[in-house]
Amino acid sequence: MMEASRCIDLRFAFPGADRAVLSGVSLSFPAGTTTAVMGPSGAGKSTLLRLLAGLLKPDAGQVVVPEVSGHDQAVSVVFQDPRLLPWLTVRGNLDFALEAAGVPAVDRRARWRPLLEAVGLAESEALRPSELSGGMAQRVGVVRALALRPRLLLLDEPFAAVDPLLRDQLQSMLATLLRAGSTTAVLVTHDVREAVVLADRVVILEGAPSSVRQVLAVDVAHPRDGLSTEVTASARAVRAALSAAMAR
């Protein structure tokens, strides 16, 4: 059994701020599971993700990610915007991430090509980001993060900027990829249905400073249909918990 990634008693305040954003946040992310992080605006969800990614340094506490082998990456991130480098093609963007991870040039294509095919972009590798639609660019962002074979995949509202119909398709695609690769993922989202479709549990952050208020298990069999009665019932429970958190 693979070891879980964890964060232990995290505390973080932005420089110059009177109050910490997060305090005493401890979570475990069991291997192969997806955890959705939800909460009111300003609850520090994206800050938590950046702390897990190592993009911010906690004032106290630590993030523990199991050792990785070879050229795999401990953590990779799918940002809310695709963040493709506009001067590189799709291929160039994917190669750049793998080059940064130390993957030899001859092995890079084999890492991203199957993923690119899986998201329906097999014919797009020579295109520049300016030639991609928003949904296509975000799929490339997902492929880039997965090609790094991370111990912990971090998704920061990855589909917030795409239209609702496309969002449903991208959620199904992501669910398939996460389950196929037994990827451990942390998803920050405002979309309750997205959280329930993708996650095995939902963590609710709340307070000032924020900490973990509730952890709800999502007990719905995969593959999940966003319109099924089970998903709707789970979404209702999560929404009720969120409403209670916001009312405090």
Partner 1 sequence: MSADGQVRGDWAVVAATALVVLAAWEGVARALQVPALPGPSAVLWMAGWLARDGTLFTDVAASLGRVFTGFTAAALLGVSLGALGALGGRWTAGLRALVSTIRPIPPIAWIPLSILWFGLGDPSAWFIVFVGAFSPIFVQTCWSLQRCPSTYLELARSVGAGPWLTFRRVRLPAAAPGVVAGLRTGLGLAWTSVIAAELVGAQSGLGYRIQMHRVVVETDGVMVGMACIGLCGLAMDAVARRVERRLVDWAP
> What residues line the site for partner 1 (CB under 8 A)?
53-55, 73, 75-77, 79, 81, 83, 85-88, 96-97, 99-102, 128, 130, 144, 148
Q: Work out how close the CB of 108 gets to partner 1 at its nearest, in angstroms, rounded to a whole number.
A: 12
Q: Work out how close the CB of 150 gets to partner 1 at its nearest, in angstroms, rounded to a whole number.
A: 10
Q: DSSP labels for 118-149? A: HTT-GGGTT--GGGS-HHHHHHHHHHHHHHT-
Q: Work out how close the CB of 47 gets to partner 1 at its nearest, in angstroms, rounded to a whole number.
A: 13
Rounded to 5°, the CA angle 94-224-247 comes to: 95
Distance (Å, whole) CA 85 – CA 98 = 14
Which residue, 96 or 214, is less far from partner 1 as judged by CB? 96
Which residue, 100 or 122, is less far from partner 1 as judged by CB? 100
Which residue, 101 or 115, is less far from partner 1 as judged by CB? 101
Which residue, 21 or 94, is less far from partner 1 as judged by CB? 94
Q: Work out how close the CB of 183 gets to partner 1 at its nearest, in angstroms, rounded to a whole number.
A: 16
Q: Work out how close the CB of 188 gets to partner 1 at its nearest, in angstroms, rounded to a whole number.
A: 14
Distance (Å, whole) CA 152 – CA 59 = 22
Distance (Å, whole) CA 128 – CA 167 = 22
Q: Work out how close the CB of 100 gets to partner 1 at its nearest, in angstroms, rounded to a whole number.
A: 4
Distance (Å, whole) CA 193 – CA 227 = 9
Distance (Å, whole) CA 152 – CA 34 = 10
Which residue, 55 or 244, is less far from partner 1 as judged by CB? 55
Helix (H) or strand (E) holding 163: none
**Encoding tokens for residue 235?**
């979404």
Q: Work out how close the CB of 2 gets to partner 1 at its nearest, in angstroms, rounded to a whole number.
A: 21
Distance (Å, whole) CA 26 – CA 5 = 11
Which residue, 39 or 141, is less far from partner 1 as judged by CB? 141
Distance (Å, whole) CA 117 – CA 113 = 6
Which residue, 79 or 213, is less far from partner 1 as judged by CB? 79
Distance (Å, whole) CA 25 – CA 231 = 28
